[in-house]
Chains A and B, each alone.
Chain A
Protein backbone atom coordinates (compact mmCIF):
# COMPACT_ATOMS: atom_id res chain seq x y z
CA UNK A 1 0.00 0.00 0.00
CA UNK A 2 1.56 3.30 -1.01
CA UNK A 3 1.21 6.63 0.81
CA UNK A 4 -1.47 7.97 -1.55
CA UNK A 5 -3.67 4.93 -0.86
CA UNK A 6 -3.11 5.30 2.89
CA UNK A 7 -4.03 8.99 2.66
CA UNK A 8 -7.14 8.15 0.62
CA UNK A 9 -8.16 5.51 3.14
CA UNK A 10 -7.64 7.85 6.08
CA UNK A 11 -9.55 10.77 4.57
CA UNK A 12 -12.15 9.41 2.15
CA UNK A 13 -12.48 5.69 2.72
CA UNK A 14 -11.32 2.95 0.34
CA UNK A 15 -10.74 3.67 -3.32
CA UNK A 16 -12.71 0.57 -4.23
CA UNK A 17 -14.81 -1.99 -2.45
CA UNK A 18 -13.48 -5.36 -1.26
CA UNK A 19 -14.34 -8.43 -3.29
CA UNK A 20 -16.93 -9.75 -0.86
CA UNK A 21 -19.04 -6.62 -0.77
CA UNK A 22 -18.82 -3.19 0.74
CA UNK A 23 -19.66 0.14 -0.83
CA UNK A 24 -17.50 3.10 -1.61
CA UNK A 25 -17.70 5.32 1.42
CA UNK A 26 -17.40 9.02 2.04
CA UNK A 27 -16.00 10.28 5.33
CA UNK A 28 -18.71 11.56 7.66
CA UNK A 29 -18.51 13.13 11.09
CA UNK A 30 -18.95 10.65 13.94
CA UNK A 31 -22.57 9.89 14.68
CA UNK A 32 -23.81 10.86 11.22
CA UNK A 33 -25.71 8.26 9.20
CA UNK A 34 -24.92 8.23 5.50
CA UNK A 35 -27.99 6.91 3.64
CA UNK A 36 -25.79 5.82 0.72
CA UNK A 37 -23.56 3.80 3.03
CA UNK A 38 -25.86 2.26 5.63
CA UNK A 39 -23.26 -0.27 6.79
CA UNK A 40 -20.90 2.52 7.74
CA UNK A 41 -17.37 3.61 6.96
CA UNK A 42 -15.71 1.14 9.34
CA UNK A 43 -17.07 -1.87 7.44
CA UNK A 44 -15.90 -0.42 4.12
CA UNK A 45 -12.47 0.17 5.62
CA UNK A 46 -12.26 -3.43 6.80
CA UNK A 47 -13.22 -4.60 3.31
CA UNK A 48 -10.48 -2.40 1.88
CA UNK A 49 -7.95 -3.75 4.39
CA UNK A 50 -8.64 -7.34 3.29
CA UNK A 51 -8.27 -6.39 -0.39
CA UNK A 52 -5.02 -4.50 0.22
CA UNK A 53 -3.45 -7.21 2.38
CA UNK A 54 -4.24 -9.85 -0.25
CA UNK A 55 -2.63 -7.73 -2.96
CA UNK A 56 0.44 -6.99 -0.82
CA UNK A 57 0.77 -10.64 0.23
CA UNK A 58 0.85 -11.58 -3.44
CA UNK A 59 3.68 -9.08 -3.92
CA UNK A 60 5.62 -10.82 -1.13
CA UNK A 61 4.88 -14.14 -2.83
CA UNK A 62 6.27 -12.69 -6.11
CA UNK A 63 9.50 -11.81 -4.32
CA UNK A 64 9.73 -15.26 -2.72
CA UNK A 65 9.17 -16.85 -6.14
CA UNK A 66 11.98 -14.71 -7.51
CA UNK A 67 14.35 -15.71 -4.68
CA UNK A 68 13.46 -19.33 -5.28
CA UNK A 69 14.25 -19.01 -9.01
CA UNK A 70 17.55 -17.23 -8.28
CA UNK A 71 18.59 -19.91 -5.79
CA UNK A 72 17.75 -22.55 -8.39
CA UNK A 73 19.94 -20.78 -10.96
CA UNK A 74 22.75 -20.49 -8.44
CA UNK A 75 22.57 -24.23 -7.69
CA UNK A 76 22.83 -24.98 -11.43
CA UNK A 77 25.88 -22.73 -11.73
CA UNK A 78 27.55 -24.33 -8.72
CA UNK A 79 26.99 -27.78 -10.21
CA UNK A 80 28.69 -26.59 -13.41
CA UNK A 81 31.62 -25.22 -11.41
CA UNK A 82 32.06 -28.53 -9.60
CA UNK A 83 32.63 -30.28 -12.95
CA UNK A 84 35.50 -27.92 -13.80
CA UNK A 85 38.98 -29.54 -13.43
CA UNK A 86 40.15 -26.63 -11.30
CA UNK A 87 37.38 -27.33 -8.78
CA UNK A 88 38.74 -30.74 -7.81
CA UNK A 89 40.86 -29.29 -5.05
CA UNK A 90 39.49 -30.62 -1.72
CA UNK A 91 39.29 -27.12 -0.23
CA UNK A 92 37.27 -25.91 -3.23
CA UNK A 93 35.03 -29.00 -3.07
CA UNK A 94 34.34 -28.34 0.61
CA UNK A 95 33.47 -24.71 -0.06
CA UNK A 96 31.25 -25.61 -3.00
CA UNK A 97 29.44 -28.26 -0.95
CA UNK A 98 28.83 -25.68 1.76
CA UNK A 99 27.44 -23.30 -0.86
CA UNK A 100 25.10 -26.04 -2.14
CA UNK A 101 23.91 -26.81 1.40
CA UNK A 102 23.31 -23.12 2.09
CA UNK A 103 21.31 -22.85 -1.14
CA UNK A 104 19.10 -25.77 -0.14
CA UNK A 105 18.54 -24.18 3.25
CA UNK A 106 17.54 -20.89 1.63
CA UNK A 107 15.13 -22.75 -0.65
CA UNK A 108 13.56 -24.54 2.34
CA UNK A 109 13.16 -21.23 4.19
CA UNK A 110 11.56 -19.64 1.11
CA UNK A 111 9.00 -22.47 0.98
CA UNK A 112 8.41 -22.09 4.71
CA UNK A 113 7.80 -18.36 4.27
CA UNK A 114 5.37 -19.06 1.39
CA UNK A 115 3.42 -21.47 3.60
CA UNK A 116 3.26 -18.86 6.36
CA UNK A 117 1.45 -16.54 3.95
CA UNK A 118 -1.69 -18.53 4.77
CA UNK A 119 -2.07 -16.06 7.63
CA UNK A 120 -3.45 -13.58 5.08
CA UNK A 121 -6.45 -15.73 4.17
CA UNK A 122 -7.11 -16.66 7.79
CA UNK A 123 -6.90 -13.01 8.90
CA UNK A 124 -9.16 -12.00 6.01
CA UNK A 125 -11.81 -14.46 7.12
CA UNK A 126 -11.52 -13.26 10.71
CA UNK A 127 -12.08 -9.69 9.48
CA UNK A 128 -15.06 -10.87 7.45
CA UNK A 129 -16.45 -12.37 10.63
CA UNK A 130 -16.03 -9.00 12.36
CA UNK A 131 -17.77 -7.29 9.43
CA UNK A 132 -20.59 -9.81 9.73
CA UNK A 133 -20.91 -9.09 13.47
CA UNK A 134 -20.94 -5.35 12.82
CA UNK A 135 -23.63 -5.72 10.17
CA UNK A 136 -25.75 -7.83 12.51
CA UNK A 137 -25.34 -5.30 15.33
CA UNK A 138 -26.11 -2.46 12.93
CA UNK A 139 -29.27 -4.17 11.63
CA UNK A 140 -30.29 -5.15 15.16
CA UNK A 141 -29.98 -1.60 16.48
CA UNK A 142 -31.84 -0.16 13.49
CA UNK A 143 -34.56 -2.75 13.98
CA UNK A 144 -34.64 -2.11 17.72
CA UNK A 145 -35.07 1.64 17.23
CA UNK A 146 -37.69 1.10 14.56
CA UNK A 147 -39.90 -1.62 16.03
CA UNK A 148 -39.00 -2.03 19.68
CA UNK A 149 -37.17 -4.79 21.57
CA UNK A 150 -36.68 -8.16 19.89
CA UNK A 151 -38.03 -11.33 21.45
CA UNK A 152 -35.65 -13.85 23.05
CA UNK A 153 -36.27 -16.20 20.11
CA UNK A 154 -35.14 -13.64 17.58
CA UNK A 155 -32.04 -12.82 19.64
CA UNK A 156 -31.11 -16.49 19.74
CA UNK A 157 -31.58 -16.71 15.98
CA UNK A 158 -29.15 -13.84 15.42
CA UNK A 159 -26.67 -15.43 17.80
CA UNK A 160 -26.81 -18.74 15.89
CA UNK A 161 -26.30 -16.97 12.57
CA UNK A 162 -23.18 -15.23 13.85
CA UNK A 163 -21.81 -18.45 15.34
CA UNK A 164 -22.12 -20.33 12.07
CA UNK A 165 -20.29 -17.80 9.91
CA UNK A 166 -16.58 -17.27 9.24
CA UNK A 167 -13.66 -18.76 11.13
CA UNK A 168 -14.23 -21.15 14.00
CA UNK A 169 -13.65 -19.79 17.53
CA UNK A 170 -10.79 -21.60 19.31
CA UNK A 171 -13.06 -23.23 21.91
CA UNK A 172 -15.09 -24.89 19.12
CA UNK A 173 -12.18 -26.19 17.05
CA UNK A 174 -12.20 -29.96 16.53
CA UNK A 175 -9.43 -32.27 15.40
CA UNK A 176 -10.38 -32.82 11.75
CA UNK A 177 -8.71 -36.23 11.41
CA UNK A 178 -10.57 -37.62 14.43
CA UNK A 179 -13.92 -36.37 13.13
CA UNK A 180 -13.24 -37.78 9.65
CA UNK A 181 -12.25 -41.17 11.11
CA UNK A 182 -15.30 -41.23 13.38
CA UNK A 183 -17.57 -40.35 10.43
CA UNK A 184 -16.08 -43.10 8.24
CA UNK A 185 -16.40 -45.65 11.03
CA UNK A 186 -20.08 -44.73 11.47
CA UNK A 187 -20.63 -45.22 7.72
CA UNK A 188 -18.99 -48.66 7.87
CA UNK A 189 -21.24 -49.69 10.77
CA UNK A 190 -24.32 -48.81 8.69
Chain B
Protein backbone atom coordinates (compact mmCIF):
# COMPACT_ATOMS: atom_id res chain seq x y z
CA UNK B 1 0.00 0.00 0.00
CA UNK B 2 1.70 3.17 -1.21
CA UNK B 3 0.68 6.30 0.74
CA UNK B 4 1.33 9.87 -0.45
CA UNK B 5 2.01 12.42 2.31
CA UNK B 6 1.66 16.09 1.38
CA UNK B 7 2.81 18.58 4.02
CA UNK B 8 5.13 21.59 3.84
CA UNK B 9 6.63 20.80 7.24
CA UNK B 10 9.47 18.28 6.98
CA UNK B 11 9.00 17.59 10.70
CA UNK B 12 5.35 16.71 10.22
CA UNK B 13 6.10 14.48 7.22
CA UNK B 14 8.67 12.69 9.31
CA UNK B 15 6.27 12.24 12.24
CA UNK B 16 3.56 10.88 9.93
CA UNK B 17 6.02 8.53 8.20
CA UNK B 18 7.23 7.32 11.59
CA UNK B 19 3.68 6.74 12.81
CA UNK B 20 2.78 4.91 9.59
CA UNK B 21 5.80 2.61 9.87
CA UNK B 22 4.80 1.74 13.46
CA UNK B 23 1.38 0.62 12.25
CA UNK B 24 2.75 -1.32 9.30
CA UNK B 25 2.77 1.11 6.36
CA UNK B 26 6.29 1.65 5.05
CA UNK B 27 5.75 2.41 1.36
CA UNK B 28 5.51 6.20 1.40
CA UNK B 29 6.08 9.06 -1.06
CA UNK B 30 6.23 12.72 -0.04
CA UNK B 31 5.33 16.12 -1.44
CA UNK B 32 5.95 19.50 0.20
CA UNK B 33 2.89 21.21 -1.30
CA UNK B 34 -0.11 20.49 -3.51
CA UNK B 35 1.76 20.84 -6.80
CA UNK B 36 4.46 18.40 -5.70
CA UNK B 37 1.71 16.09 -4.47
CA UNK B 38 0.06 16.07 -7.91
CA UNK B 39 3.42 15.26 -9.53
CA UNK B 40 3.93 12.29 -7.18
CA UNK B 41 0.39 11.14 -7.80
CA UNK B 42 0.96 11.25 -11.57
CA UNK B 43 3.89 8.84 -11.17
CA UNK B 44 1.34 6.18 -10.21
CA UNK B 45 0.91 3.52 -7.56
CA UNK B 46 -0.48 5.76 -4.83
CA UNK B 47 -3.44 4.15 -3.05
CA UNK B 48 -4.09 6.69 -0.31
CA UNK B 49 -3.33 10.37 0.38
CA UNK B 50 -2.65 12.14 3.67
CA UNK B 51 -2.54 15.91 3.19
CA UNK B 52 -2.11 19.09 5.20
CA UNK B 53 -4.23 22.17 4.45
CA UNK B 54 -2.02 25.24 4.93
CA UNK B 55 0.80 25.02 2.40
CA UNK B 56 2.53 27.37 -0.06
CA UNK B 57 2.24 27.01 -3.87
CA UNK B 58 -0.98 24.98 -3.77
CA UNK B 59 -2.82 24.47 -0.50
CA UNK B 60 -4.46 21.26 0.65
CA UNK B 61 -7.96 22.26 -0.39
CA UNK B 62 -6.89 23.12 -3.95
CA UNK B 63 -4.88 19.91 -4.03
CA UNK B 64 -7.87 17.80 -3.00
CA UNK B 65 -10.07 19.50 -5.61
CA UNK B 66 -7.43 18.85 -8.28
CA UNK B 67 -7.11 15.19 -7.26
CA UNK B 68 -10.86 14.70 -7.36
CA UNK B 69 -11.06 15.92 -10.97
CA UNK B 70 -8.90 12.97 -11.99
CA UNK B 71 -9.57 10.37 -9.29
CA UNK B 72 -12.91 10.14 -7.52
CA UNK B 73 -12.17 7.10 -5.39
CA UNK B 74 -8.71 7.40 -3.84
CA UNK B 75 -9.06 7.80 -0.04
CA UNK B 76 -7.93 11.22 1.20
CA UNK B 77 -7.28 12.02 4.85
CA UNK B 78 -6.70 15.67 5.77
CA UNK B 79 -4.41 16.27 8.77
CA UNK B 80 -4.36 19.95 9.71
CA UNK B 81 -4.44 22.57 12.45
CA UNK B 82 -7.66 24.02 10.97
CA UNK B 83 -10.31 22.93 13.43
CA UNK B 84 -13.30 25.22 12.80
CA UNK B 85 -16.53 23.49 11.79
CA UNK B 86 -16.78 25.48 8.54
CA UNK B 87 -13.23 24.42 7.59
CA UNK B 88 -14.00 20.75 8.18
CA UNK B 89 -17.21 20.97 6.15
CA UNK B 90 -15.38 22.83 3.35
CA UNK B 91 -12.74 20.08 3.21
CA UNK B 92 -15.39 17.35 3.13
CA UNK B 93 -17.23 19.15 0.35
CA UNK B 94 -13.96 19.37 -1.61
CA UNK B 95 -13.64 15.59 -1.47
CA UNK B 96 -11.77 14.72 1.71
CA UNK B 97 -12.91 11.37 3.15
CA UNK B 98 -11.89 12.00 6.74
CA UNK B 99 -10.29 14.67 8.88
CA UNK B 100 -7.75 14.74 11.71
CA UNK B 101 -6.84 17.83 13.72
CA UNK B 102 -3.21 18.29 14.76
CA UNK B 103 -1.77 17.32 17.16
CA UNK B 104 -2.88 13.73 16.61
CA UNK B 105 -2.03 10.49 18.37
CA UNK B 106 -0.78 7.39 16.51
CA UNK B 107 -3.98 5.62 17.56
CA UNK B 108 -6.14 8.32 15.92
CA UNK B 109 -4.16 8.13 12.67
CA UNK B 110 -4.33 4.34 12.68
CA UNK B 111 -8.08 4.37 13.30
CA UNK B 112 -8.72 6.85 10.47
CA UNK B 113 -6.51 5.00 7.98
CA UNK B 114 -8.09 1.67 8.79
CA UNK B 115 -11.60 3.08 8.52
CA UNK B 116 -10.78 4.57 5.11
CA UNK B 117 -9.25 1.35 3.84
CA UNK B 118 -11.77 -0.94 5.48
Contacts and interface: CB of A to CB of B under 8 A. Distances in A.
Interface of A: 19-21, 54, 57-58, 61, 111, 114-122, 124-125, 128, 166-168, 172-174, 176, 179-180, 183
B15 interface: yes
A168 B84 contact: yes
A19 B8 contact: yes
Interface bin, chain B: 20 to 34
A118 B84 contact: no
Contact of B99 (A57, A172, A179): A179
Contacts of B7: 121
Contact of B9 (A21, A114, A121, A167): A121
B10 interface: yes
B9 A176 contact: no
B9 A124 contact: yes
Interface in B1-32: 7-12, 14-15, 18-19, 22
A54 B56 contact: no
B45 interface: no
B81 A115 contact: no
B87 interface: yes
B98 A180 contact: yes
Nearest to A114: B18
A183 B10 CA distance: 31
Interface stretch (B35-43, B68-76, B101-109): B101-109
A179 B54 contact: no
